[in-house]
Structure 1
Amino acid sequence: MAILSKIRERTMFLILVIGLALFAFVLDPTTISDFFSANKVNEIGEVNGEVISRQEFAEALDAYKAQTGNRVSEMQAAKTVWNNLIRQKIYKKQLEEAGITVGDVDILNALYESPSIQGDPRFQTSGIFDKNKLKEHLATIKEENGEEWKAWRNYMASLQSNIEKTTYDNLVAAGIGASLKEGEANYFTENTKVSGKYIYVPYTTIADSLVILKKSDVENYINNHQDAFQVEASRDINFVKFDIKPTAEDEAAIKAEVAKLIEDSEVNNTTVKGLKSTTDYSEFLEENESDLAIDNNYKFKVQVPQVIAEEVFNGKEGDVFGPYKDGDYFKLSKITAVTQLPDSAQASHILIPFIGSASADETVVQTEEEAKKTADSLLTVVKANKSKFADLAKEMSSDKGSAENGGFYDWFAYNRMVPSFRDFVFEGKEGDMGVVKSQFGFHVIKIDGQKNFQPVVKLVTFGRKIEASEETENTVFQNAETFALELANGKVFEEAVKEKNLSSLPAVGLKPLDENVPGAGNEREIITWAFDEEVKEGDFKRFDVEGGYVVATLTSKTAKGLMSVDKATARVRPILINERKAKMIQDKISGSTLDEIAKSVSQSVRTAADVNLQSPTISGVGFEPKVVGAMINAKENEVVKNVVGDKGVFAFVVEKKELPAALPNYDTFRKRIANERKNKTFQMYEAVKKASDIEDNMSSFYGIQ
């Protein structure tokens, strides 16, 4: 698949591009960078007039990638960095307007207080954090201006950003407390109960077909609620995926090839050993290009592929099984050892690390040879007196997790520990002691217990991944090309799909910085193509994707700004229908008493008891906060009508209003309001962000204008 895809690259296009670039370079060497960077504008955004340059973004992106160890995708990193830059500039602007600046002293103090800095031996004197050592270190690496200084600079920039955010949040929180009067009002509002009679006319009493809406109605609603209908630029596509999958014939051919490896064969008058007769298993797997590495672990029955498990555990050493299908492989397995092992064990150990071992920290000074001598000495001591094992583990083991328990590990399964530790404990006998080496150092081990002995086997397994043949790949490629050719000849996409009995998939609302195309996977190239200014609705293209090909067509382009009427209709229509129905119901309502009103709308008078705003539901209706709020604020024994709720139109009379008992102090409720306000720092930031003047052209960094 990979080779064929490379062959099919548009090599002539690449040759043309390179040729033009070299031609430009001959005329003027400075033009070659311009050729590959048509957009010379060095700005990709602004926040309240402050520019975000390409260099600033690129440096922040590199720093973030280094910080995360490149464990996030390019687009995920880009979005995070962009949002961080916007946040930093917004907070900095807010603090400047408040007359507050976060300076070098603030950053240094934050460095001094960092636990990781205080615990770094490089900045300690006699085990105590020394500010002067940190300052000297920073001055030295700043002079060198190398990678280490760059990393420190990035770290200090992140500290500054965190300080600015915390400072701003604290300033805002200090000014948004609550008064006792607010606490009292909140207490009475939430706990007042009302009871009375009401009439409920559901919107469902009027058929949707009786409500006539025009396109202009939807457009007017959008224009009157523009904040709720702002959208990013997006693209919609339809696509057909042509998956390269092995056919039944491919599987049969692979199975036959694997079967040939069981017995010896003759190649150029030389006997080539098969799995049945070979004893050098590593060489066998390597020479026959196994897609599975050798596995020297013992396996319990549940760990053996279940398709052969029963046969294997009824077999003997030397028996060969297969070829059999297991997941995406055809396999051959040979029993190389049969024995009995416990399924769990207890053990104690003392871990002695050495310089360079996985468990070594800055306090480890022993070489590997010295650590081995220490471990052997400890083994001699504990063999002479087992009772000393726990105390020595507490004193000398670097495995702090077990050292507190005298080095003891309670019952653990076969596969839990590293191989050398595991093999000693499970293949030895209870009471045995010894020293083994692992990546963590040298372990002085005592086997404390073993239980549930069961038969186990060692298997050497050859595996061949089940993949499509070259013939199958060519067929799939031809199918994709034929489909694309029909589109090129003017065939409508969905017609071509139907004629060839294919299935098309939609991908709706793709954003400029998305990576994933639902149904196709992580295919950034498709998204970049969809946002190309020259690509128009109805255009199509074939893409080489992981595991096959995609032929996609652009079905819709949405510009950044106000949502189109067509796309907003599904969302707006129910709102407008209920508004019209509410007006129609209100026009029907007549009368001065509930009985008269009930008669005018052919509904019955219902009873509501102990309704309150803590749980604003009305029995028989459901959640209706607007109506309950109106009841709480209504006068007793007064008819209130034409109250529009979420599910219908209401009329009611509050017959009884029960206030909660007065409290001696409302400080608890005051504090609750204050804390709720202080905990809304994200909402505060979003409000400030919304009020800021932000120009976002970050997608241009990735070639999307």
Structure 2
Amino acid sequence: MAVLSKIRQRSILLIGVIGFCLLAFIIGDIINSGGFGVTKNVGSVNGTDIPVKEFLESVNNMQTRQQGISPTQAANNVWEYEVQKVLFQERFDKAGIRVGRDHVLDMYGQMVGQNPQFMNALGKFDKAKFNEFLVNMKTTNPQQYQAIESERPSVEASAKRQLYAAMLKAGYFTTNVEGQATYKLENNKATFDYVFVPYNSINDDQVKVSDQELVDYMKKNEKKYKAEASRDIEFVFIDNKPSPADEAEMKKNIDGLLVAKVEYNDETKANDTVPGFGAAKNVEEFVNANSEMKYDTTYVTKKQLPLEHAEQIFALAPGQVYGPYVLNGYYMLNRVTGRKPGASTKVSHVLVAYKGAMRAAASITRTKEEAKAIADGYLAQVNANPAAIDQLARTNSDDPGAVQNGGVYDVTPDGGWAKEFKDFAVASPKGKTGVVETDFGYHVMRILDKEDAVQVATIAQKIQPTEATTDANFTKATKLEMDSREKPLADLAKGLGYTVTPANGLKANDENIPGVGAQRPIVRWAFSDDTKVGDVKKFDTPQGHVVARLKNINEKGLLPIEEAKVSVLPIVRNQKKAALIKAKMTGSTLEAVAQKSGSTVALATGLSMANPMISGIGPEMKVVGKAFGLAAGKTSGLIEGEAGVFMVRAKSVENAAALTNFSAITTRLNGQGRGGVETRLSTALKDNADIEDNRFEFN
């Protein structure tokens, strides 16, 4: 009864507790479902949402398909794909673009059209064969069939995009008027005298440019200098590299592999003498027990050995040892275990393909018999003049690589060559010629040289820091992080002998930081609402430790000042220098201006508007344009050019001979314009879209 009485007394408290628990449960469910302001979408494009669940599934799928890609790289790739998909789908809908089964099969043909399984007798992609393949797969391998079907929407989207791009290109044309204008720009020539005073005649430190002046200039050109939100950081990298003492200890250990040593044998319960590397009977076992690279039985030629040590290693007799030496951060020991004379063959060949041969170009129409006759003819030329094979390979071979390498290859018994090709190369002596048939066609072959090869057992041990070194570096980085809360990071780093490295303009979805590679946690920290300017944090990486400090928070808008100092500062500074230079360039004639400014009168001959390159100065469009606009003998005012201030005096304009037909020019301009249509459209759509990007919350 006493217990019941206490429960009655505290009933209000119990009801409150139960109510609080229910509220917590409801709030948790709301949060999980995306309520109360928690983002459900990874972003949106012109009001079309990109759901988180589907986005993350696509990121995971990309990581599965592309081994080695990081989560950030996958997320950025998927985001770009989703944005493009929405933007182009809007265009497809407005244009009424639809694709049928044939369009989709054409896209598959572009992806797998070179597979012989789907080719007809003419060597072309056969839609019927591919369709039959899909029908059979639906029964024999439904899982793989579903995987292909799941990609169909993206294939259809690609087909639509290709069709839309073709329509845009077809609608792009250049008129004869434009062709005529281009002809004049390229071929009308101006000759003029000029006086030039370069901007660099005034030292940069004589002209002061404030940050506000940079901002004012960017505001006048806002579209050109707009920027996303970014962060500027500076960091100290404490590298976990081996100390000299660590390297000396490793050198001592690897030297020890060269001599016999006594070890206790658990099986015999007695001490055994273990031979060194040079005397070891079971070389494979010795290597695998002591090396980070497993034993390899491959025979290699001299040029395949490390360049600086090839001569010494190749000269070893079987059983002899070379090393230790350092290569790419490893201590290395080599022991030659075998030698094969003539193991590698340098061969020159001319490929004569025929219609239907493997990987034969679509333009090849000759029959197999015709190809054999041509090959026999080439062989006769090579037998009469062996040096002729080089020119034949470069000009007549159907091997695409022959233009660069003259059809010359190094062939080894274990190389991935066509069997007949390899058999002839390996078995033939130097100087032998012949015609060999493979699935690729007929090869006119000549053996240029035979090289010996050696089998080399290699012990490789990476030079690593000891635990004592890594512990010391950790302590050093931790102390630097703590001390930098009271003192400037740059001063502390200098006292320790480290350099502070800036990393400016980091974007919210960036991953790489110059000097330390992929460091997504640092970028996330820099963009966190909890991180303030001046905050310092230590990050541990596989290579060492990064102590980072947030320098600036740059909101979305104009370029950050640090970036503006790279691209905008030279422009504003030159404008100020131009005013100083103009004050010196007084006079109404070139000669007078030249005398006052300490310059000379120079001559520019035969310059066009399409190529306004003034010798020794560079491109100066405004200057050359002014020369075209002046009557002969007339002098311009002062012109602020790209490299300095000019004054010009026109001498003559030579107009190009009149043309009656501009088709060659319009064809060229059409090709140039159509080639960039899709890229320009993609950029324009993105620039004008209303894009909400919440990737940072999920990446």
TM-score (normalizing by structure 2): 0.71
Q: Report the counterpart of residue 59 of structure 2 in structure 1.
A: 61
Deviations 1:382-415 (A, max 9, x none): xxxxxxxxxxxxxxxxxx99xxxxxxx9984557
CA contact (8 A) 1:91 1:168 kept: no
Counterpart selection for 1:49 from 47, 50, 55:
47
Deviations 1:350-373 (A, max 9, x none): xxxxxxxxx9xxxxxxxxxxxxxx
What does residue range 635-674 of structure 1 map to in structure 2 within 5 Å? 635-636=631-632, 638-674=634-670
Mark the runs of 5 or more structure 1 residues left unpaired by the alignment. 1-23, 348-358, 360-399, 402-408, 432-447
Aligned letter for 1:656?
S
- Aligned-partner SS, 2:568: helix
Deviations 1:109-147 (A, max 9, x none): 53575572696859999x995649838946985999856
| 1:169–1:586 Cα change, 3 Å | farther
Distance of 1:143 and 1:459 partners within structure 2? 48
Q: Report the counterpart of residue 342 of structure 1 in structure 2.
A: 342
What does residue range 473-484 of structure 1 map to in structure 2 within 5 Å? 473-484=470-481
Counterpart selection for 1:537 from 533, 539, 542:
533
Residue 694 (structure 1) aligned with residue 671 (structure 2): no
Distance of 1:52 and 1:537 partners within structure 2? 32
- Aligned-partner SS, 1:554: strand
CA contact (8 A) 2:194 2:604 kept: yes
- Aligned-partner SS, 2:637: strand
Aligned letter for 2:344?
S
Q: Report the counterpart of residue 291 of structure 1 in structure 2.
A: 292
Q: Report the counterpart of residue 245 of structure 1 in structure 2.
A: 241
| 1:263–1:676 Cα change, 3 Å | closer
| 1:166–1:257 Cα change, 3 Å | closer
| 1:459–1:130 Cα change, 3 Å | closer
Q: Report the counterpart of residue 162 of structure 2 in structure 1.
A: 166
Residue 553 (structure 1) aligned with residue 555 (structure 2): no
What does residue range 366-385 of structure 1 map to in structure 2 within 5 Å? none
Q: Report the counterpart of residue 90 of structure 1 in structure 2.
A: 87
- Aligned-partner SS, 2:223: helix
- Aligned-partner SS, 2:628: helix
Alpha-carbon shift at residue 89 of structure 1 (Å): 1.9
Distance of 1:322 and 1:471 partners within structure 2? 27
CA contact (8 A) 1:195 1:656 kept: yes
Q: Report the counterpart of residue 367 of structure 1 in structure 2.
A: none
Alpha-carbon shift at residue 616 of structure 1 (Å): 1.4
Q: Percent identity?
A: 27
Q: Report the counterpart of residue 97 of structure 2 in structure 1.
A: 101
| 1:94–1:477 Cα change, 3 Å | same
| 1:186–1:284 Cα change, 3 Å | closer
Distance of 2:310 and 2:203 partners within structure 1? 65
Aligned letter for 2:262?
S
Higher mean C-alpha deviation, range 312-321 or range 211-220: 312-321
> Paired residues, what number?
599
CA contact (8 A) 2:137 2:144 kept: no
Aligned letter for 1:42?
K
Higher mean C-alpha deviation, range 592-601 or range 54-63: 592-601
Higher mean C-alpha deviation, range 29-38 or range 176-185: 29-38
Residue 575 (structure 1) aligned with residue 602 (structure 2): no
| 1:662–1:478 Cα change, 3 Å | same
Distance of 1:665 and 1:411 partners within structure 2? 49
Distance of 2:126 and 2:245 partners within structure 1? 70
Mark the runs of 5 or more structure 2 residues left unpaired by the alignment. 1-20, 348-357, 359-397, 400-406, 430-445
Q: Report the counterpart of residue 558 of structure 2 in structure 1.
A: 562
Distance of 1:648 and 1:451 partners within structure 2? 60
CA contact (8 A) 1:586 1:642 kept: yes
Residue 486 (structure 1) aligned with residue 483 (structure 2): yes
Aligned letter for 2:48?
E
- Aligned-partner SS, 1:509: strand
Alpha-carbon shift at residue 226 of structure 1 (Å): 0.8
Residue 676 (structure 1) aligned with residue 672 (structure 2): yes
Q: Report the counterpart of residue 382 of structure 2 in structure 1.
A: none
- Aligned-partner SS, 2:53: helix
Distance of 2:427 and 2:139 partners within structure 1? 59
Higher mean C-alpha deviation, range 614-623 or range 532-541: 614-623
CA contact (8 A) 1:43 1:54 kept: yes
Alpha-carbon shift at residue 473 of structure 1 (Å): 2.3
CA contact (8 A) 1:345 1:425 kept: no
Distance of 1:527 and 1:429 partners within structure 2? 59
TM-score (normalizing by structure 1): 0.70
Distance of 1:41 and 1:335 partners within structure 2? 64
Alpha-carbon shift at residue 48 of structure 1 (Å): 2.1
Alpha-carbon shift at residue 206 of structure 1 (Å): 6.5
Distance of 1:233 and 1:71 partners within structure 2? 29
| 1:659–1:545 Cα change, 3 Å | same
CA contact (8 A) 1:138 1:149 kept: no
Q: Report the counterpart of residue 19 of structure 1 in structure 2.
A: none
Q: Report the counterpart of residue 279 of structure 1 in structure 2.
A: 281
CA RMSD in angstroms, aligned pairs only: 4.9
Alpha-carbon shift at residue 199 of structure 1 (Å): 4.6
Counterpart selection for 1:80 from 77, 80, 94:
77
Higher mean C-alpha deviation, range 305-314 or range 467-476: 305-314
| 1:53–1:283 Cα change, 3 Å | same
